[in-house]
Chains A and B, each alone.
Chain A
Amino acid sequence: MHLNDEQIQRYLHGELSARERAEVATHLESCELCTGRVAEGEREEREVFDLLERLDHRPPHRDINTVMPTTREYGRPARNAWIRRAAVVVLIVVLGGAAYAIPGSPVPGWFKKLGGLVGGDQAPVEEANEPVDTVDTTTLVPSVSGIAIPPSKRFAIVMAAPQDSGTVYLTPTDGFNVTIRALGGAPRFTLTSSDRLDVDNTGLNSSYEIEVPVSANFVELVVGERRIILKDSRRFGEDLRIDEKGRRLIPLTQ
């Protein structure tokens, strides 16, 4: 009996057991027809796979830190200029939004002061055309006790370490910004990329109010090694305890 497709394919792909392989080899020694079919199968596969290669685009830059978050590294790399520009736009909004995040804060004075940090009276639109590489993101946002940011598609709030006490009070908002207010203490907020806000809470035990837009795609909170999904495409603050005010509670202790 001649070889069937299954045997020929398995022979080509090294998917036969040692015994099966020996049987096939023995048959091929005495059968010209099957030898021809094996050769044809090999040629056909090469042709098909060569054609499939024509569809390939250049693979993306591979960076394991985009999939394995730590408190040091998080967020996807800016893959193209569009995203890099968006990062700058986000920074501008942060500076404008920081003041608004604090209830009863002296908004106009603040905004002026903050505006000075990104180049005086320059219009934000012009600023947005600057390549982000020239902007030192770590020094742009001063230590304030609140901040508001329009979240990227996949956004993370990263707290450096668990605290001895303190709670995050999470509420949904119809607005477009993720808003964080520290209730007491003065943690340092740093927008390290369009995907990541760092909260340096070292030595502090503040509680925080966090508002997340219901329209946000994905927002998570990273506390040390712990990750809490605040909002994804389907759910808001799932599995979190809710207090009498309807706020979801996330303890910041270990």
Chain B
Amino acid sequence: MTRSFRDDFVELYDAHFTRVYRYMDRLSGDPDLAADIAQETFIKLYQRGSIPDTPGAWLVTVAMNLFRNAHATHSRRRHLLNVVPDAAMFSDRAVETTPSAETRALQERVRRALDRVPERDRHLLLLRAEGYSYREIAAALQIQETSVGTLLARAKRAFRDNYEARADAS
């Protein structure tokens, strides 16, 4: 039995859509942008018409490029989202409980700690958090696969240091 492109596509969509979305959501802080990018990424895969050799890395690379393109136009919006709690912005999110001031402060602190991690290390961290393999991460970020672990250790340390530094400051 031969599997069709459609079968493979459906399988990849189920396995990767939420990962791509979460990666983009954490990176951008903008869930609507993240959802658009995740959707657009899979539209591009469908338009491609064949499954790439390393699908995980391919999807991440496409999403990263879409994010870079969208970033400039959305930066203002993200700024607004950081200030205004999501629940006030969109009616379907209004059903989510409004986060407490404490929760929001913690989110803000995590956000800042992450934003201060150098860009490549930030991607590294978020991709590993989604369970991407070293091979996929190396391909997506165009780094040596043999140094992924070392860079990852450094990225986690940088994030933690930023996070702790914020605690001292406040």
Contacts and interface: CB of A to CB of B under 8 A. Distances in A.
Contact of A66 (B29, B39, B45, B160): B39
B71 interface: no
B149 A67 contact: no
Nearest to A58: B96
A29 to B, nearest CB: 21
Contacts of A67: 13, 39, 42-43, 45-46
A82 B90 CA distance: 8
B25 A55 contact: yes
B13 A57 contact: no
A122 interface: no
Contacts of A56: 22, 25-26
Contact of B163 (A8, A51, A59, A68): A51
B126 interface: yes
B113 to A, nearest CB: 8
A47 B147 CA distance: 22
A75 to B, nearest CB: 11
B21 A9 contact: no
Interface in A39-98: 41, 44-45, 47-49, 51-52, 54-60, 62, 64, 66-69, 76, 79-82
Dominant secondary structure at the B interface:
helix
A62 B159 contact: no
A52 B110 contact: yes
A134 B144 CA distance: 56
Contacts of A52: 26, 110, 114, 125-126, 129
B10 interface: yes
A97 to B, nearest CB: 27
Interface residues of B, number: 54
A47 B159 CA distance: 11
Contacts of A64: 10, 13
B120 to A, nearest CB: 16
A7 interface: yes
A51 B153 CA distance: 16
B21 A60 contact: yes
Contact of B29 (A7, A15, A55): A55
Contacts of A80: 90-93
A5 B25 contact: no
B152 A9 contact: yes
A81 B91 CA distance: 6
B21 A59 contact: yes
B150 interface: yes
A48 B160 CA distance: 7
Interface in B89-112: 90-93, 96, 103, 106-107, 110-111
B156 A13 contact: no
A5 B149 contact: yes
Nearest to B155: A48
Contact of A7 (B31, B39, B149): B149
B9 interface: yes
A6 interface: yes
Contacts of B156: 44-45, 48
Contacts of A62: 13, 17-18
B150 A4 contact: yes
17 contacts: A5-B153, A6-B153, A9-B152, A13-B149, A55-B110, A58-B31, A58-B96, A59-B18, A59-B22, A59-B25, A59-B35, A60-B21, A66-B39, A67-B13, A67-B42, A80-B93, A81-B92
User: Lowest 3 A-B CB distances belong to which pairs?
Assistant: A9-B149, A57-B31, A67-B42
Given A5-B149, A5-B154, A15-B134, 16 more contacts: A6-B146, A6-B153, A9-B148, A9-B149, A13-B134, A44-B156, A44-B157, A45-B156, A48-B125, A52-B26, A52-B129, A58-B31, A59-B18, A68-B6, A69-B46, A227-B47
